[in-house]
């Protein structure tokens, strides 16, 4: 059983994650308060949007502020690198320093680690996460294309073999066939790991169907936007929740 906080990532209707993308602590607080009447399961702090993200003390203050606003919410900490669609470029050494700082802060329930990073640094961060009881989502994002079926399955299974609690892959479709490729690969990997959660999505308007079909193909978590989307194709969180319940 894999959890983010008290949220179990299991089979059935996908859980909903809402990203918050404020550029300042004040904006993050406003986004947290905006969520008060929304229905969701997990909040993702996209810390790469924070203007002062290169200062660990500022990141610490942001985490404290969010925990004060959302004391019991399952919190996923993510720094999306520029190469994979993020807002800010930082050295790889700082990328891992930041993740390890967040893990040790005890303010986060899960952390996102990109798959195509330094292997020894990934393993060290995984060890720290295990020691602190923090769930690891390992991820890969391609904003330009959809990898082949074999590439998608190899990446997702590679994440599992490396030690990820959850394997995640998002890609951009150019055609409807690309969406089908992503969904087929999701089902194939889920069949190989039936009791372990994976997260996949096809981005943009063309891939929107992938954000609501997780119960069929095996994706355990889907992302819905609140005040601002963090990736193309995200549905508004209330609309997403209504669609999922209707399909369920």
Residue 211 annotated in ligand binding: yes
Distances (CA, A) of 41 to 14, 15, 222: 10, 6, 10
Residue 234 annotated in ligand binding: yes
Exposed e or buried b per residue across 114-136, where buried means at least 16 C-beta atoms within 10 angstroms of its C-beta: bbebeeebbeebbebbeeeebbb
Pick the catalytic residue: 15, 107, 141, 190? 141
Residue 45 annotated in ligand binding: yes
**Annotation marks residue 141 as catalytic:** yes
**Annotation marks residue 168 as catalytic:** yes
Residue 184 annotated in ligand binding: no
Residue 130 annotated in ligand binding: no
Which of 22, 155, 140 lies closest to 81 in space, CA to CA? Answer: 140
Pick the catalytic residue: 3, 160, 161, 168? 168
Residue 230 annotated in ligand binding: yes
Residue 187 annotated in ligand binding: no
Enumerate the active-site residues.
Answer: 141, 168
Going by the annotation, the residues of the binding site for 3-dehydroquinate are 44-46, 80, 211, 230, 234
């Amino acid at each position: 059983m894999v959890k983010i906080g008290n949220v179990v990532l299991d089979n059935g209707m996908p859980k909903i994650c809402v990203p918050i993308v404020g550029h300042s602590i004040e904006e993050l607080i406003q986004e947290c308060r905006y969520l008060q009447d929304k229905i969701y399961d997990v909040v993702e702090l996209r810390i790469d949007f924070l203007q002062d993200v290169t200062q660990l003390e500022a990141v610490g203050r942001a985490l404290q502020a969010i925990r004060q606003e959302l004391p019991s919410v399952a919190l996923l900490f993510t720094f999306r690198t520029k190469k994979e669609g993020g807002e800010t470029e930082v050295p790889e050494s700082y990328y891992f320093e930041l993740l390890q700082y967040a893990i040790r802060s005890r303010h986060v329930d899960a952390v996102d680690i990109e798959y195509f990073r330094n292997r020894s640094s990934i393993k060290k961060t995984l060890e720290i996460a295990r020691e602190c009881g923090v769930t690891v989502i390992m991820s890969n994002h391609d904003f330009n294309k959809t990898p082949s079926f074999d590439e998608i399955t190899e990446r997702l299974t590679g994440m599992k073999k490396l030690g990820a609690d959850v394997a995640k892959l998002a890609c951009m479709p150019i055609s409807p066939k690309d969406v089908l490729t992503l969904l087929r690969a999701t089902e194939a990997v889920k069949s190989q790991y039936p009791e372990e959660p994976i997260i996949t999505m096809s981005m943009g308007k063309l891939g929107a169907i992938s954000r609501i079909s997780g119960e069929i193909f095996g994706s355990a978590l889907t992302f819905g936007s609140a005040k601002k989307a963090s990736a193309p194709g995200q549905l508004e969180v209330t609309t997403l929740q209504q669609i999922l319940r209707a399909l369920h």
